[in-house]
Structure 1
Amino acid sequence: MRLIATGLLVAMAVLFVVARLLEPRHAAFAFVGAFAEAAMVGAIADWFAVTALFRHPLGLPIPHTAIIPTNKEKIGENLGNFLETNFMSYDVVHAELVRIDFAGSAAHWLAQPANSRAVADQAVSAVPVLLRMIDDKDAAGFLREALSGALEDVKLAPILSQVLSVLVAGRQHHVLLERLLGIVSGALEAHRPYIRQKVHEHSPRWLPRAIDEKFYERLMEGVQNTLEEIQGEDSEWRVRFQAATEELIDNLAHSPEYEAKLRGLLESSLSHPLFRTYVGQVWEDVRDRLLADAESENSQLSAHLQSALQAFSRALERNPAIQQRINDWLRTFAAETIVAKRELIIALVRRVIRSWDAETIARKFELHVGRDLQYIRINGTIVGGLVGLALHSVSLLF
């Protein structure tokens, strides 16, 4: 564009010379000469104006030229102020973000099997790296501390009391009692020979075998009758069991002594060497399983994660209300974050512009707007020529 504008100036100069040479032959060449003369003036004036923005015309240090390089610091400062005032306000940023449907776009994108699979694979591929970064002893210690810390402020007895209350309300404690009694009764029947042998071994040697056998039969019959009696709906045993259960629930809910006992039992269990060893073994087993699955071509973890992502995306697509909530939260969060950090962004703009040398900043501006500025030179040439032609015509009237 610069070559075209300059070429047009040269063409006007040639046209002016030719018109002056041919003017004696015909009066029309005077109009051509006036046009070319004014066009040259307009072209040169606009060339000077355009060039003065970016450099000194012809290298001469004329005042008020090379405006952009000379005012580099001021440009950076004003550009930063302009961005901060007109672009980095909360209302402007939030209004722009309202146009973006974050949740809907993400849900639609994740609903595509290829995309959800890619996300799942990327997430699972990071598992081996993370696991190998963690020392086994540190991980086991972390699990123990996390479990201890999680239970530190928890009141165990009231929680257990509430659980038992739920069981009692559904009469599940009677079902449990009947199951236990059934197990005991079945175990007695299954081990009758063993029990008979133990009774004979502990009986006096002088006691006749028949009497010993009779004692065994009466013992087994008494135990079975007692078990059947306990299972009766209106038995005294059931009443006692109900009363004991209710008393236990009340003590767990209100007695500090029961809380202290449970707390002591828990702390002793967590600090026991067997528990420490068990936690370490659990961590090693979990780690090995995760590593094997993550490094497998048919990773179940990746498949489950993909299914979860697709299920989540489908559920999100069907729920515009949740999409709106997520979008509102993201827009507010993003707008507040950008506005809160706008001083850093503006400082970056100013710092980068200050770091440019004068020639660089002039070249960058000229590359962005120079094409339009060359059109100004072309238009100046044409408009100048037309004005010159009009003035020459007017002068002939006087």
Structure 2
Amino acid sequence: MAGGAPLPPDRARAMRMTATLLLVAMAGLFIVAETMLTVHPAWGYVHAFAEAGMIGGIADWFAVTALFRHPLGLPIPHTAIIPSNKDRIADTMAAFLRTNFLTPVVVARRMQNMNVAKAAGDFLAKRGDSTEGRVRAGAAQLFVELLESLDPDRLGLQVKAGLARQAEKIDIAPLLGRMLEAAIGDNRHGPLMDGMIRWAGLTLEDNEDMVRDMVAQRANSVIRWAGLDGRLANSVLDGLYKLLAEILVDPEHPLRGKVQEGLEKLAQDLQHDAETRAKVEQMKADLLNNPAVADWWMGVWERLRTSLIARIRRPEGGMDGEIGHSLAELGQTLQSDPALQMQVNRFARRTLVGTVNRYGEQIVSLVSTTVKSWDATTITGRIERAVGRDLQFIRINGTLVGGLVGVTIHFITEVI
């Protein structure tokens, strides 16, 4: 059947049969009363009731039937109104929807007194019921399916490319310069310098043999022949260790001042020196283009993805519980924070109004086009099944009211 889903059950059938049987009963009563008119004057009232009831029932049957089809199959003008005006009905329905529901003003007015945020908070904050469990499990399962559907290599490359594009847009040198300048201004560079000094001491300790070889290679032959190169190397190492220790324990050591001057100059150069900034940008580009960085990112992404999937699928539901707990906390916040409610409600209202403003015409057009695509039988069946029961009451009421009017008229004529 054209028009999509099957027609709903015809719940008006029983009322249609009742209305028809009532009309038949009126006809039978009319025949009986016609034969009994000479027996008693009261039969005149029965005759008038039945006659007028038949007329009223037949008239209403004709009117109801004419809405949906030609009565008795006869092409009487202005019958089968709904099938004949299907396209006009579709346009009228669409215009009604557009005027009364899908205008920004109407949507904004209807949402003005709606607390969407609090309603969402009440729903999310419910604990221990089946609804909350289904939401939590559904959110977790949706997250798992999303992660499993992603191509690890392809997504990793896309994310890496996206990060690279964002990093390329950032002028990192001035940012580093301002960070370094702020650290020096707040005297937060001291621990960094101490760490660098300790690192230099450990590096020197790990490379003592290399220092000794360098001293021996640069010493002249007389010193080496006299065996003084070893003592010279030890003196150099001892002097370096002593210097590093003095710098570490003395906050006012002159070399600390020199280092700080160098850091201050670096901070200024990073912000204002074009050559320094160009060097930093080149270093950033080299780092982003380094294949090792790409391999590292791919490994990090895949470990993260598989770890999340494993946690969500864990029998004890670790991630499932975390999602449920997070949803409940979000719901409680939405319930108790009026400022957040106002922001969320404003966002929801603006979003829906914007959607209606942008896509209202398309929605209306979709409704109109869908109804127009139904064949006459489909649209007639849908409307008749929606209002047919009430229409059959019109037939019943018309039969009974017609009968009462007939009795009234007969009484008046008898009195006069």
The TM tier, using the shorter chain, reads 0.7 to 0.9
Instruction: Select which of 4, 16, 33 maps to 1:2.
Output: 16
* Local SS of the residue matching 1:336: helix
* Local SS of the residue matching 2:240: helix
Which residue number in structure 1 is paired with residue 195 of structure 2?
179
Instruction: Select which of 301, 311, 331 maps to 2:349.
Output: 331
Instruction: Select which of 166, 177, 191 maps to 1:161.
Output: 177
Displacement after TM superposition at 1:336 (Å): 3.0
Instruction: Select which of 239, 243, 265 maps to 1:226.
Output: 243
After TM superposition, list the pairs within 5 Å mapping 1:1-398 onto structure 2. Answer: 1-98=15-112, 100-112=114-126, 114-115=133-134, 117-131=136-150, 133-134=151-152, 136=153, 138-185=154-201, 204-207=223-226, 213=231, 218-219=235-236, 221-230=238-247, 231-298=249-316, 300-398=318-416
Residues 102, 239 of structure 1: alpha-carbon distance in 2 compared, 3 angstrom cutoff: same
Residues 165, 45 of structure 1: alpha-carbon distance in 2 compared, 3 angstrom cutoff: same
More deviation in 192-201 or 265-274?
192-201
Residues 349, 268 of structure 1: alpha-carbon distance in 2 compared, 3 angstrom cutoff: closer
Residues 85, 234 of structure 1: alpha-carbon distance in 2 compared, 3 angstrom cutoff: closer
Q: 2:120·2:334 contact (CA, 8 Å) conserved in 1? A: no
Residues 364, 272 of structure 1: alpha-carbon distance in 2 compared, 3 angstrom cutoff: closer
The separation in 1 between residues aligned to 2:315 and 2:328, in whole angstroms, is 20
Q: Please give the TM-score of this superposition, normalised by the length of structure 2.
A: 0.80
Displacement after TM superposition at 1:253 (Å): 1.7
* Local SS of the residue matching 2:79: coil
Q: 1:48·1:57 contact (CA, 8 Å) conserved in 2? A: yes
User: Residue type matched to 1:38 in 2?
Assistant: A
Residues 4, 178 of structure 1: alpha-carbon distance in 2 compared, 3 angstrom cutoff: closer
Displacement after TM superposition at 1:255 (Å): 0.5
Residues 195, 361 of structure 1: alpha-carbon distance in 2 compared, 3 angstrom cutoff: closer
Q: Please give the TM-score of this superposition, normalised by the length of structure 1.
A: 0.84
Q: Which runs of 5+ in 2 are unaligned?
A: 1-14, 128-132
User: Residue type matched to 1:57 in 2?
Assistant: P
Percent same amino acid among aligned pairs?
36
* Local SS of the residue matching 1:386: helix
Q: 1:8·1:378 contact (CA, 8 Å) conserved in 2? A: yes
User: Residue type matched to 1:161 in 2?
Assistant: G
The separation in 1 between residues aligned to 2:208 and 2:106, in whole angstroms, is 89
Which residue number in structure 1 is paired with residue 3 of structure 2?
none
Q: Which runs of 5+ in 1 are unaligned?
A: none
* Local SS of the residue matching 2:174: helix
User: Residue type matched to 2:240 in 1?
Assistant: V
User: Residue type matched to 1:267 in 2?
Assistant: A
Q: CA RMSD in A?
A: 3.3
Q: 1:77·1:350 contact (CA, 8 Å) conserved in 2? A: yes
